[in-house]
Structure formats: C-alpha cells, structure tokens
Amino acid sequence: MKQAFLVFLGGGFGSVLRFLISKPLNVLSPNFFYGTFLVNIVGCLLIGFILGLSARGNILSYNTTLFLATGFCGGFTTFSAFAFEKNFLLKNSELLHFSIYMISSIVIGVLAVVFGLWLSKLGE
C-alpha cells in the first residue's frame, strides 16, 4: 500500500507541474503545442536520468524510484494529450505541423532518455 501511495503522490506532483507549464505555453501557437512538447521531452530526460541512477545500485531506493519515475514522470508527461493534439492537427489539415510535432517528439524524446541515462553515469 505504501508503494501505491508513493506513486499516487508523485503522480499528483507531476500532474500539477505539467498543468502549470503546459497551460501558458500551449497558447503560444495554434499549430504547435509547446507546453506538451516541453513536458514530454523534459519527462523523457528525467526518467532516463532517474532509471539510470536506479540501475547503478545504492543511489535511489526502489520506493524513491517508484515515486520519481512511475509517479512523478508518469503524471508529468502525457501521452493522451500528445495523441489528442495530433488528432487536432490532422482534423485541421495541418499535415506539416503534424509531421514536425510527431517526429520531433519521438526522436527528441528518445534522445532525451539516452542523454538522461548518460548523465546518470557521470561520476561513476
């Protein structure tokens, strides 16, 4: 039960922070959702770093990893908003913006995870 509470608590913090970042940034352009893009990329970087530290052994406990990776990063990032925004762009025939947003989110997201993993190994 303690672990479920840690995930719940981390998810709450992540969700609130996502809201505070995404809401003002998503209004900057009708063709690109900067807030969602930013939280998803930062979340990829964070989860790579957190899971990299966790894999090193004695740096993060299992409960801390649950709180940060599963809870916080799970609440902070948002695949559902990402999917909805892609649908919005397609419905409005914004194929160029759809393609740029889709490809950059996936490619930069994966690179951010790799970079986070790399950062976690500094100082080994």
Annotated binding-site residue numbers: 74, 77
- What is the residue whose two structure tokens read 């990032």? 77
Cβ neighbors of 28 (< 8 A, separation 6 or more) are: 34
Buried residues in 57-67 as b, exposed as e (16+ CB within 10 A): eeebeeeebbb
Two structure tokens written together for 26: 């998503």
Annotated binding-site residue numbers for Na(+): 74, 77
